[in-house]
Amino acid sequence: MKKNLKKIVLASLFLSLPLSASLQDDIKNMATKSKSSFIKSSYSTNLYEPIWIQGNSLSPLGNELIAQIKSDKTFAPDLPFYKLYKSVKSDLKKGKINATTELKLMKLYKSYMDYLIKGGINWKNFDKDIAMLKKKYNYNVGWERATPPYSSKKILTNAILSNSFGDAFTKVEPKRFKYKKLKKYLAKYIAIKNSGGWPVVKSAKTLKVGSSSPAIPKIRKRLKIVGDLGNCSASMDSTIYDNCMAKAVKRFRLRHGLKASSVIDKSTRRELAKPVSYYIRKMRLNLDRIKWIKRDEARVRIELNIPAFRLYLYDGKGLVTTMRVITGKPDHPTPVFSDVMTTVVVNPYWRIPESIVRNEMLKHLIKDPHHYERQHKYLYKGWGPNSEKINPATVNWKQYKGNKKHIPYHFMQDPGTRNALGKIKFLFPNKYSVYIHDTPGKRYFFRDVRAFSHGCMRIQKPRELLEALALYNSNLNVDSIMKRLGTDDNEQIGLRRRIPVDIVYLTSFVDDYGNLHFRRDIYGYDRMQLKGYLSSKGSVSVKNNEKVKSKKNKKYNTVKKAKAVKNLHKKSKAKKVEKKVNKVVKKAKAPVKNKQGYQVIEVGY
């Protein structure tokens, strides 16, 4: 009895003493041998004292880290830190509290915090893809980004000093572009996936109100799960397409960038056929994109989302005005960047880029040098309106065909109603030479697809934007400018209050009414960035990321099934079966003609 009591007392004394010097020595030995400069410097600064463990359990910082990762329901389970997290949890469960566990926790912190700050996009790989696009299109393609203003090392240093992370995990997350709301939707969709997802609809026919189909109950369930169905009273099992469901379909279509229609057509069925994992991946990607948009948010600002084809002018959290936009074609993509609007140009000249002259105008100039004079496009020695005019018939245009020989002359289109820039231009000087402007082609704003400019952004309501800017610039006399618009007199007006402009590429976002939206990847940037997305296995292959699209292809499924049947009968002597399987495989492997067009329509709010 006395011996047992003595053991208990000695054990309690041992637990109350500080960690042995051997643990500190083990940490020092392992840290100095580590290839990670972060681990080396972190422990060196802390004199090799343990940071994440204390006694025979976790330290306060260790507990906070584990609790944070456990509560984060939005990251992908194949990310590197999650495997490490599971390993640490296993060690703790087994009572392994040693230097190895300590360093595992340090690696876990670094990996998770870096993901929280920077996300999982491999920007180096994406930059290479962008460089290839520049070479392919011979055009100044760009995606600029602002490095997140946080450091894993500084956050840890401050946490060690205060013995707590405080609000560090939430502080590093962006406050702009409704990041928090999009993250909540992501958590909701992950919960939907964990509950079994939603029924994938594979209806082949177009459905209208009043029609009947076995697919209706599945569509109704899908609309219910994502919150579009509302309080419709019809039975979930009803096969009749009723009016209440029609409103839900219209809302669903708007959220996916389709026309405000109740018809369940091919484009609607395409979205209904996608599993929840497709949208989860899309939301994660766009959350990571937001992390790389500059964090400073001006009170008055312009935001333009390329895939949504829409411009927004904000004053604080309030939306001042919004309008439809025409953006660049896939071979002339509008660049992603931030700048500051400085000037309004009334009755602008259009200085036509040499690339347009070479690629689009040259063939007409060779046939008829005066062809473009009918459009008030004249040839000059320089760019200024006072530059010397050149007779285009005196130029041998054939010498520039089929080569990259520099054309030493400049075409400019005079101000007027036929000017390609319309009557107003909004300048924010940038290396891409793109800007926001009016257009004489108003009818194009009512088209389904609005990605067909040469990179600049044509807006639907230039006068409305001018009036909104005048609220913050007293030198913009709207009445005077409107009178001048009735003439062809060119005028440049500098803004006293310069307006920040953020041109972004978000294919998933939350609107100003709290609705979740998805858009088509018009430039292929989703695919490029998912190709190198961070995972425990390294880069994610394009095939894996396009799995949803492949599964939609019936021929893909036929190949898969046919191969499976072939394997089952590999040793069989049933030659008839084998011959039939080979025939199916051969048929399924036949080239599939994919449509190159795309359809993107902005929401109607």
Highest mean pLDDT among 132-136, 249-253, 429-433: 249-253
**Better-predicted residue by pLDDT, 24 or 553:** 24
The pLDDT of residue 21 is 65
Region 323-338: mean pLDDT is 95
Task: Check whether residue 364 and residue 501 sit in a common domain.
Answer: yes
Cβ count near 523 (within 10 Å): 24
The pLDDT of residue 22 is 86
The pLDDT of residue 428 is 95
The pLDDT of residue 601 is 27
Contacts of 120 (CB under 8 A, 6+ apart): 76, 79, 284, 288, 533, 534, 535
Q: What is the domain extent for residue 406? A: 320-506
Region 432-448: mean pLDDT is 89
Of 82-91, 257-266, 434-443, 595-604, the least confident: 595-604
The pLDDT of residue 535 is 63
- Reported pTM: 0.83
Of 131-140, 368-377, 448-457, 498-507, the least confident: 131-140
Region 308-321: mean pLDDT is 96
Three-state secondary structure call for residue 436: strand
Task: Check whether residue 586 and residue 473 sit in a common domain.
Answer: no
**DSSP designation for 357:** I
Tokens of 299: 């009170």
Task: Check whether residue 155 and residue 40 sit in a common domain.
Answer: yes
Task: Check whether residue 163 and residue 93 sit in a common domain.
Answer: yes
Instruction: Classify residue 363: in a domain, yes or no.
Output: yes
pLDDT, tens digit, 9 for 90 and up, residues 516-535: 999 999 999 999 999 878 76
Cβ atoms of 449 and 326 closer than 8 Å: no
Of 189-193, 307-311, 544-548, the least confident: 544-548
Of 10-14, 187-191, 271-275, 398-402, the least confident: 10-14
Task: Check whether residue 396 and residue 475 sit in a common domain.
Answer: yes
The pLDDT of residue 385 is 67
pLDDT at position 270 over 90: yes
Task: Check whether residue 253 and residue 372 sit in a common domain.
Answer: no
pLDDT, tens digit, 9 for 90 and up, residues 470-504: 999 999 999 999 999 999 999 999 999 999 999 99
- 69-94 burial string, b = 16+ CB within 10 Å, else e? beeeebbbeebbbbebbeebeebbee
Task: Check whether residue 345 and residue 451 sit in a common domain.
Answer: yes
Task: Check whether residue 160 and residue 230 sit in a common domain.
Answer: no
Task: Check whether residue 337 and residue 460 sit in a common domain.
Answer: yes
Task: Check whether residue 339 and residue 474 sit in a common domain.
Answer: yes
Region 207-223: mean pLDDT is 93
State how many domains the chain has.
4
Task: Check whether residue 167 and residue 205 sit in a common domain.
Answer: no
pLDDT, tens digit, 9 for 90 and up, residues 346-390: 999 999 999 899 989 999 999 999 999 999 999 998 877 688 999
